Structure 1
Amino acid sequence: MSPSTPLLREANLTEIESLALSSELNMADGHARQELTEAQRSIVDEFPDLFHKAAAQPVDDLEREAHRAFLHMMGQHTFPTRAGGVLTCYSSSVAMEILARSLATAGGGSVALVHPTFDNIPDLLRGNGLRLLPVEEDVLHHGPVAAAVPDGVRCLFVTTPNNPTGRVLTEDRLAGLAAECAAKDVVLALDTSFRGFDTRSHYDHYAVLRDSGCRWVVIEDTGKLWATQDLKVGLLASSEDVGLPLAKIHSDILLGVSPFILVMVTRFAEDARAGGLADLHRFIAANRSLVRATLHDVPGLTFPDDGARVSVERVDLGDRPCLDVWTRLRQGGVYMLPCSQFHWAEPARGDRSLRIALARTPGALDAAVRSLRAVLLDE
């Protein structure tokens, strides 16, 4: 794809991310691309044994172990353990497609969707014929819950922690939204793919949802946390009375995921619970500090997400168009993500922001951010 501004405006974020996959200074996609820790390298050394374990043990047992290890690691002790309560997918995007198709199959209608958020979510929902209503983050997080659940919608879809802003629904706010959804018979859907980075999102969402009485769906993702060469699973959890053909659509798309990946997820989750997750939090925080320290004195530049803990960082470029900055960076082999497409209902609101991935080696991140600084200062 040409890097010209018109084509970039038409591209989705994944298409832009794909341009960076072979670059040593790829700060575009939010996948984990940092070095493995010593403990994680020892797990990789176990791969031959894990492969044989995966071949010898029933898949149902491996799924239960992976679900329990991953979700308990983040405080989600009340996740559904009934048959079909958690469907395992190749990725969170596949889980999203299953949800979107299920909503369409069950009658379609309108979905209230958090704004901004990663654009593959609105793309998948629209691609299945669903109508979207934007719900601004401030409305979602503060004020009357009725305003966050518009009349006439069939589903409220929330990303928490959100990508790219990092904002997290508090337990009380989730309870309020869930109660409102129950009163209006609206499905509450959560994408928690960045949950692992932020302990503020480690309260038991499933207990809150269960107690609310609403119909709900939760998408989880193992792929953002560990640099496992994109070996990952997405999870699609749902309430027993959700009223959507999730299992049928799931069976239309896949039979099952690799048993080896399930075993790997269990081992990485065990390591995370034993201290690896806290190590990851410190690593991301240090990389965020690196970005802010390098750019802090650039005139007009600000960091709009002061409290973010997720593995991405937005920078507001002041009066500089992000696509111009992106083009100059690309000429030097550096890739970040323009933020226009995150604002899926009003792209112009993101035209002066970039998103920088933080799950990278500090040396590569430092080189990329110094290149950004040079471009911004026109050096």
Structure 2
Amino acid sequence: MEVDALTDVDGGLNLTDGHARLDLSPQQAAVIARLPEMFAVATRRSFPSIETAAHRAFLDAIGQHSAPVGSGRILSCYSSTLSTDIVARALPAGATVAVLHPTFDNIADLFVTRGLKLVPLSEEALLRQEWPGAPVDAIVVTNPNNPTGLVTPEGHLRSLAEHAVRHGQTVIIDASFRGQVRDAQYDTYAVLDAAGADWIVIEDTGKLWPTHELKIGLLAYSERTRLPIERAFSESLLAASPVVLQLIEALAADWVDGGYERARDLVQRNRDAVREAIGSVGLRLADPESQISVARVALPVDGPDSSLLYKELLERGVHVLPCAPFHWADPESGLRFIRLSLARPHATVASAARTLADAYRELSAAA
């Protein structure tokens, strides 16, 4: 569905993927203007020094001061999806993995493709701190969660880490949306290390800045892990681009110099526009407190479901995502939700939200 939206020859409104598809701010445009300089630096400066500086700038910008920068245990990938696939290949064949439910569907897809056995960990169980035991070998938590925006509180992560130590499990955190949410920016690495956990953390820059896929997925892992992560990494790529790493370093500097607030204001303005448009037809946001750049619309059980609404919106030139795939262990439970990306220009989001409201009104009247 996301590919269809990107390749729509008629230029439909694309509110599918969570990547930042925004206009550059003046500050970001000034960074982009320095790309020729970054190419020149990449030819005369060592890759390790460029990579370390980018890791330090980005991770400090999102509160991760205890991340193992400079230790060799943070690998730079060209996407967080590749990072996830590397982790899936590094885990033992046939391992049983508990994965948050619902969550971004490609996590489950990649793990299943690599021959892992999945069991769901519900958000409710996470909030109750009910962690799975044997035969689970690893526990995967998306923090903040996509698509719900749920943030795993620091105390809950500590509880999970301590549980995993007692049961010989690996904790895997997908923190791709962390940069958007201050509440999720407590020092995860400090919590995990203090518990003595075996951990893997995936970070992502692609959700923050409109750099047209010039992004980095960071794959960090604990000193305790015995998984062949470096081997799996080297099977997939040699290195990320030193130019993109410099770009990330510069954009991280802007993020702490007002960039975060500017992006947050736009996302909130877009969320408000969606709330207002859908409210006119009696719909509501499923996750009103979410702070990430996607929003789920809850659909009543007595009205059209998200698969039907999705098809109607396609006819009207609007691409959104029905949520059944996010409910990877129980797709039926996702039929009452549809997701819109908020990381778009305000006019795009407002127009798509009005179209969604109109389509829902007409489908409901025809039922």
Is 2:114 aligned against 1:132?
A: no
Is 2:14 aligned against 1:30?
A: no
What CA distance in whole angstroms lies between the structure 1 residues aligned with 2:249 and 2:237?
Answer: 21
What CA distance in whole angstroms lies between the structure 2 residues aligned with 1:376 and 1:341?
Answer: 21
- Which residue, out of 326, 331, 340, partners 1:342? 326
SS at match of 1:96: helix
Deviating more after overlay: 42-51 vs 230-239: 42-51
Retained in 1: the 8 A contact 2:64–2:186?
yes
Question: Which residue of 2 is the match for residue 112 of structure 1?
Answer: 98
Question: Which residue of 2 is the match for residue 176 of structure 1?
Answer: 159
Question: Which residue of 2 is the match for residue 11 of structure 1?
Answer: none
SS at match of 1:87: strand
Is 2:237 aligned against 1:254?
A: yes
Which blocks of at least 5 consecutive residues in structure 1 are unaligned?
Answer: 1-15
Give 1:148-297 correspondences, 5 Å limit: 148-297=131-280
Question: Which residue of 1 is the match for residue 297 of structure 2?
Answer: 315
Question: Which residue of 1 is the match for residue 343 of structure 2?
Answer: 359
In the TM superposition, what whole-angstrom CA distance separates every residue of 1:140-196 from its partner, at most 9, and x where no partner exists?
A: 122xx3x32232211000001000000001111110110000111100000000001
SS at match of 2:285: coil
The alignment's C-alpha RMSD in Å is: 1.1
Give 1:53-92 correspondences, 5 Å limit: 53-92=41-80
In the TM superposition, what whole-angstrom CA distance separates every residue of 1:71-130 from its partner, at most 9, and x where no partner exists?
A: 0001100001353210111100100011000003xx532001100011110011111111
- Which residue, out of 347, 358, 361, partners 1:374? 358
- Which residue, out of 77, 97, 108, partners 1:122? 108
- Which residue, out of 83, 87, 96, partners 2:84? 96
Deviation at 1:43, TM superposition (A): 0.9
Question: Which residue of 2 is the match for residue 302 of structure 1?
Answer: 284
What CA distance in whole angstroms lies between the structure 2 residues aligned with 1:84 and 1:126?
Answer: 29
Letter in 2 for 1:49: E
Q: TM-score, normalised by structure 2?
A: 0.95
Deviation at 1:24, TM superposition (A): 4.2
What CA distance in whole angstroms lies between the structure 2 residues aligned with 1:54 and 1:278?
Answer: 30
Retained in 1: the 8 A contact 2:12–2:319?
no
What CA distance in whole angstroms lies between the structure 2 residues aligned with 1:252 and 1:292?
Answer: 45
What CA distance in whole angstroms lies between the structure 1 residues aligned with 2:291 and 2:319?
Answer: 21
Aligned residues: 358
What CA distance in whole angstroms lies between the structure 1 residues aligned with 2:252 and 2:69?
Answer: 18
What CA distance in whole angstroms lies between the structure 2 residues aligned with 1:322 and 1:41?
Answer: 37
In the TM superposition, what whole-angstrom CA distance separates every residue of 1:191-210 from its partner, at most 9, and x where no partner exists?
A: 00000111000110000011
Deviation at 1:49, TM superposition (A): 1.1
What CA distance in whole angstroms lies between the structure 2 residues aligned with 1:257 and 1:343?
Answer: 32
Question: Which residue of 2 is the match for residue 20 of structure 1?
Answer: 5
Retained in 2: the 8 A contact 1:149–1:181?
no
What CA distance in whole angstroms lies between the structure 2 residues aligned with 1:20 and 1:73?
Answer: 32
What CA distance in whole angstroms lies between the structure 2 residues aligned with 1:26 and 1:212?
Answer: 42
Q: TM-score, normalised by structure 1?
A: 0.92
What CA distance in whole angstroms lies between the structure 2 residues aligned with 1:297 and 1:222?
Answer: 35
Retained in 1: the 8 A contact 2:206–2:213?
yes
SS at match of 1:295: helix
Letter in 2 for 1:177: L
Letter in 2 for 1:64: T
What CA distance in whole angstroms lies between the structure 2 residues aligned with 1:260 and 1:166?
Answer: 31
Letter in 1 for 2:115: G
* Identity among equivalent pairs (%): 40
